[in-house]
Structure 1
Amino acid sequence: MTLLFAFTTAGCLFVLAAIAAHIDAGSRAGDLDSDVNSRAVGLSRAVWFDNQGQLHLDPLYEDSLAQRVEAVVVLTGRPGRPPVVHVAEPLSSAAPLQAELQRRWREMVADEDTVLFTAVAADKRELRWAAAPVWKGEDIGAAILVGGDPGNSERRHELLIRWLTIGCTALVVFAAAVGHLLSGRAMRPAITSLQRQEQFLAEAAHELRTPLATLQLVVEGGSSAPERAPAALSEAVHLVDRLSRLVTGLLARARLAAGTQEVERTPLRLDQLVELTLQELPGPAAVTISTEPVVVLGDPGLLAQALRNLVENAQQHGGGGPCSPRRPVEVTVSPGRIAVRDHGSGVPPKDREKVFRRGVTGGSGTGTGLAIVRWIAQLHGGSAQLLDAPGGGLIAELRLPQYKDD
C-alpha cells in the first residue's frame, strides 16, 4: 500500500511538473518574443527618413528601448536589392549572417509587418530576433532588428526544472512516509481483528481439548463394554452439556474482546459458584475444597471458566514427583480470593509473569489458560498471580473485589 501510494503520488507530481515546465517554457519564449518585438517596433518609430532620403538614427542611441538587449542592427535596402547592414550594436559580429538577413528582409517586405525569427549571429550565438520595418514614403527603406538571448531564459527554465525535481522528490518521500503511516493505521484494525480470531481459536482449542478427550474416552468405554453403556451415556450427556456451556462462554469472551458485549456484573455467592464448578470437573476426588461465604459482583460464566483453568492447570502441571504419590489440588475460597494450590515443582519467580502471556508454556503452566484467568480477573477489577506455597508447590491466586451492598 505504501508503494502504491508513493507511485500514484509520483505519477501525479510528474504530470503536474511536466505541465508546469511546458507552460513555463512557453511563457518565457512568449515573453522574449514580446520584448524584442515591442523594442523593434518602438525603435522603428523613433528613426525616420528626411526629404532627401537620409535615415536619421540619432534617437536610436538615446532611446531606452535600445538598452539591455543583446544586439540592435539597422538594415537599409532598395527594392530589388539585398539589404546592407548600416549599423550593428554593440558589434557587427552580432548581426545575423548575410543569407539570413536577405531571407528575412524579403519576408518582411512581403508581409509589410514585423517578423520574428531565430538566427545564428556571426559570433556563433543563437539569438531571437524581431525585424520591424521603417517606411520611406510608400516603400520599406530600412529595418530595425533587435536581438534577445534566449539563453538567460533557458537557464532560468533549467533552474525551475531542477527545483521541481527536488521538490517532487521530497514530496514523494513525504507522501510515502505519510502513506506508510496511514496504511499502517488503516491495516491495524484488520490485523487486530485477525489476532483476536487467532487468539479465540487458541483459547477454544485449549478449552475444548479436555472435555472432548474425556467424552471420547467415555464413549469408547461404553461401546467396548455393553454393561457400562447406560452409565457412559449419562456421563456423555453431562459432558455434552458442559461443552455447550464452554462454547457459550467462548462466544461471550469473543464478544467481550471485540467490544460488542459488556461483561455481566451481578451479585453472586463465590463459594457456591466454586463448588458447582468443581462438581463438573472430571476426577473430583483429585480436588479438595475449603470455602467461606463470599459475595462478589461478577459474571458467573467467566469466573467459572477462570476457576476451571486454574484447577486443570494445577492438575496437569502441579502433581507430585515421579516417585511420589499424586496429591490432590487444594482450592480455598476466602473473602475476595480464590487460591488453587498444587504440589508440583513450582515456577521460578522470574518466569511467573511470563506464564500469564498467551502462547507461553512453562513447566507448571500454559500461557493460554493462565492468560485467560488474568484477563477475566482484570475485567472484574481484580488480579491474578502465582505465589510460593508453604512446604513446596505453587499457589495460583485469583483476587476479586468484594461486593458491598449499599
Structure 2
Amino acid sequence: MTVDGRAVARLRRLRRSMTLLYAATSAVCLITLAFIAATIDGRSRADSVDAQVAGHAEALSRAVWMDQGILHLDPLSEDELAGASAVTAVLQRPGGGQVQVRWVRSAGAALPSAAGLDLLWTSTVREQDTFLTTMAGRDGRRTRWAAAPVWDADDIGAVVLTAADLAPEKKSHETLVRWLVVGCTGLVLASAAAGHLLSGRSMRPALQELGRQEQFLAEAAHELRAPLATVRLMMEDGRASPARAPAAMAEAVRLVDHMGRLVSGLLTRARIQTGTGQLVLTPLRLDQLVEQAVEELPHIAGQVVVHTTPTIVRGDPDLLAQAVRNLVENALRHGATQSTLPVEVDVASGTVTVRDHGPGIAPAERERIFDSRVTCGREGNGLGLGLGLGLGLAIVRWVAELHGGTADATTAPGGGALVRLSLPEHQPGPSHHHVSSSRHDPLDRLPT
C-alpha cells in the first residue's frame, strides 16, 4: 500500500507542529509553576529568618533592663539565646553622641561599620519597635539584622542587635532552583516525547485512510483498465465497419454493465473498509456466480474451461464476482499466455479452484503473491516478485477473509499454478427454498 508523498509530508509537518506546540505549552506551564515555587520558597525562607532573628532580639531585649540610666547586661552572659545568633550585641548612644557597642558575642559574623550601627540605632528609635534590615558586616558577608529597643522609662536607652547569616538559606534556595530547572527540563523533554507519540497515534488513522484511498484508486484502475480498453476497441471497430456496429454496440453495452458492477463492488469494499457500510451476506449459488463472472470476461473464447457442481455459500455477489474475475484474469495473464492448454476453473463444496499451465509458483512466494505491496511477475520456472501493486490476488484474499474463508496458492500436479478461494458452504434449513445467484438480479431457485 502506497500513500501520496505530499500528503504524508503534510501530515508529518503537522505532527512536528503538534509536538512543538505540546512541548511549548508544557514548558510555559512548568516554567510558570517553577517560578511560583521558587518565589514562594524565597519568601518563606526570608519570613522564617526574619521571625527567628526578630524573636531572638526581642527576647534578649526583655532579658536586660535599665535602672535610672544604668544598663544591666548580666543576664546576657547566662542566656543561651545570646549565642544562638550569628552576632549578638547591645548598643548605646550616651548623650546623643556616637553609637557605642556595650556588649557583643559573635558566632563567626562581624558587626556592621559605624555608619551601619548608627543606621540601626536611628531606625529603631524612629520606628519605636523592632527594626529589620539586611546589610553587610565588616567582613563583607550579607547578614539579616534585627534591632529591638530596651526602654528606660519612656525613652529608648539601648538597642539589642541579633543577626542571621543569609548564606546557608541562599545556598539552599539556589539548590532548590537548580532542581526545579533540571526537573522542568526533564518534564518538558518527556512531554515533547509524549506529545510526539500521541500525535503519531492521532495521525495513524489519517495515514490509514490515505492508504485505503490510494489502494481504492489503484484497485479501481486495475479493475476498469481492461474493460475500458475493450470498449474503446469495440467502438473503433464499429466505427470502422458499419456492418459490425450493432454487434460492437451490444458488446459495448455489456461491458458498460460489467463496469457498473465493478464500480458497485469497489464502492462496497471502500465503504466496508472505512466503516461506513456493512457487509450483507445472503445465500447464493456459487457455481452460477462463477459461470456468469467468467462469461463477462472479454475475449476468452477457448481459453477458460469451467466445471461446476451446485454449491451454496453466504456472501456478497459483487465482491465474490470481483474475486473470481481476478482469479481467472491472473491465471490468463500468467499461465494461458505460456501454454496452449486452457485455464481450468472448478467449483465444488464452496471452493473455487483456478489452475493454469504456466511456470507455477515458487514455494517461498506462495504467500507473498497475496500481498498488495508486490507485483507478480513469473520468470523461469518460478514466480519472481518485483515492485508495484499486485492487487488482483490481494483482493481475492481480502474477499475470502471477509466471508470467513481462505485463499491460498500452490503448484498444480504436472506443473502450473493452482489458486483456491474457499468459503464456508451454506447448508439451508427446511424453510430455505430460494438462494441468490449471480443471475436474474441475481435470484435463482435451487432444484427441488
> Residue in 2 aligned with 1:140?
156
Contact 1:75 1:85 in 2 (8 A): yes
Residue 56 of structure 1 pairs with residue 79 of structure 2 = no
> Residue in 1 aligned with 2:349?
335
Q: Label 1:115 to 1:385 Cα distance change in 2 as closer, same or farther (>3 A).
A: same
> Residue in 2 aligned with 1:8?
25
Q: Label 1:307 to 1:70 Cα distance change in 2 as closer, same or farther (>3 A).
A: same
Pick one of 233, 237, 244 that aligns with 1:221. Answer: 237
> Residue in 2 aligned with 1:21?
38
Distance 2:363 2:209 in 1: 33
Note the 1:178-217 alignment, pairs <5 A: 178-217=194-233
Cα offset, 1:371, TM superposition: 0.5
Cα offset, 1:79, TM superposition: 4.2
Q: Label 1:320 to 1:216 Cα distance change in 2 as closer, same or farther (>3 A).
A: closer
Residue 346 of structure 1 pairs with residue 360 of structure 2 = yes
Pick one of 327, 330, 338 that aligns with 1:313. Answer: 330
Q: Label 1:274 to 1:80 Cα distance change in 2 as closer, same or farther (>3 A).
A: same
Q: Label 1:140 to 1:243 Cα distance change in 2 as closer, same or farther (>3 A).
A: same
Residue 363 of structure 1 pairs with residue 377 of structure 2 = yes
Is the partner of 1:363 in helix, strand or coil?
strand
Name whichever of 164-173 and 85-94 sits farther off. 85-94
Is the partner of 1:327 in helix, strand or coil?
coil
Distance 1:119 1:149 in 2: 11
> Residue in 2 aligned with 1:159?
175
Q: Label 1:233 to 1:79 Cα distance change in 2 as closer, same or farther (>3 A).
A: farther
Contact 2:120 2:131 in 1 (8 A): yes
Distance 2:281 2:72 in 1: 109
State TM-score, norm by structure 2: 0.85
Cα offset, 1:40, TM superposition: 1.1
Contact 2:315 2:403 in 1 (8 A): yes
Q: Label 1:114 to 1:258 Cα distance change in 2 as closer, same or farther (>3 A).
A: same
Residue 397 of structure 1 pairs with residue 388 of structure 2 = no
Pick one of 272, 276, 283 that aligns with 1:267. Answer: 283
Is the partner of 1:94 in helix, strand or coil?
coil
Note the 1:36-55 alignment, pairs <5 A: 36-51=53-68, 53-55=69-71
Is the partner of 2:421 in helix, strand or coil?
strand
> Residue in 1 aligned with 2:7?
none
Deviations 1:325-353 (A, max 9, x none): 64321111122211111111122110111
State TM-score, norm by structure 1: 0.94
Cα offset, 1:93, TM superposition: 6.6
Cα offset, 1:255, TM superposition: 1.2
Is the partner of 2:225 in helix, strand or coil?
helix
Residue 295 of structure 1 pairs with residue 312 of structure 2 = yes
Q: Which amino acid aligns with 2:140?
A: K
Cα offset, 1:307, TM superposition: 0.4
Deviations 1:267-303 (A, max 9, x none): 2111111111111110231211111111112211111
Q: CA RMSD in A?
A: 1.8
> Residue in 1 aligned with 2:13?
none
Name structure 1 gaps, 5 residues minimum: none
Contact 2:83 2:107 in 1 (8 A): no
Contact 1:320 1:327 in 2 (8 A): no
Cα offset, 1:92, TM superposition: 9.8
Is the partner of 2:126 in helix, strand or coil?
helix
Is the partner of 2:276 in helix, strand or coil?
coil
Cα offset, 1:104, TM superposition: 2.4
Is the partner of 2:336 in helix, strand or coil?
coil
Cα offset, 1:91, TM superposition: 6.9
Cα offset, 1:72, TM superposition: 0.4
Identity percentage over the alignment? 53
Contact 2:109 2:141 in 1 (8 A): no
Residue 244 of structure 1 pairs with residue 267 of structure 2 = no
Q: Label 1:66 to 1:261 Cα distance change in 2 as closer, same or farther (>3 A).
A: same
Contact 1:347 1:362 in 2 (8 A): no
Distance 1:194 1:284 in 2: 36
Say how many residue pairs are matched.
402
Contact 1:130 1:145 in 2 (8 A): yes
Contact 1:24 1:157 in 2 (8 A): yes
Contact 1:118 1:129 in 2 (8 A): yes
Is the partner of 2:310 in helix, strand or coil?
coil
Deviations 1:53-93 (A, max 9, x none): 22111222333433421110111112421110111112797
> Residue in 1 aligned with 2:404?
381
